A and B are shown apart, each in its own frame.
Chain A
Amino acid sequence: AQSVTQLGSHVSVSEGALVLLRCNYSSSVPPYLFWYVQYPNQGLQLLLKYTSAATLVKGINGFEAEFKKSETSFHLTKPSAHMSDAAEYFCAVRGDSSYKLIFGSGTRLLVRP
């Protein structure tokens, strides 16, 4: 069985500051891991995905995430926050043989001017 825990329902950073959104997963099989972003009144958009090819994954809009098996983590980072990054971010896990995505509860990123 798979599960995802996102620490911090809200994260607030200043514009230009480092963004760090935390995600820990539990999986009995090698996982596929995803980060999605959701802007208000919109659907989810894929930021990046880990598929075992490389532990450091680069995504769109300057985001990246590092898969750490020993820590069962897949934290999302961005060196410098922009106002346009304000949104809800979801981490998700999927087992190798399953199409079912298991989502975390989400982290709302607030960017202060």
Chain B
Amino acid sequence: DIVMTQSPDSLAVSLGERATISCRSSQSLLKSSNNKNYLAWFQQRPGQPPKMFISWASTRESGVPDRFSGSGSGTDFTLTISGLQPEDVAVYYCQQYWSAPITFGQGTRLEIK
């Protein structure tokens, strides 16, 4: 199974500041034939199901604010939230969909400082 490891486990950032979450996979998620990374990011607000908001490592879903950006390739990926807003308080998960079983990172809890 591909192991996904996130850091940090929790993060407190002031409103308007930048939050950065890292995700590392135990094997490359880059498919050379299409140059795509099979990596998604999910946001889970309290009491709600998770919601995918970035796929292919850097493609924002429709309606996702541009303060959210994903980057990285191969085994190392980063989620950056520029200009933290109160509604961004959530747990964030990275997920690989390169191979079964689909696996997730342990999650990063983002709070307001």
**A is bound by B:** no
Point out residues on A near B: beta carbons under 8 Å: none
Point out residues on B near A: beta carbons under 8 Å: none
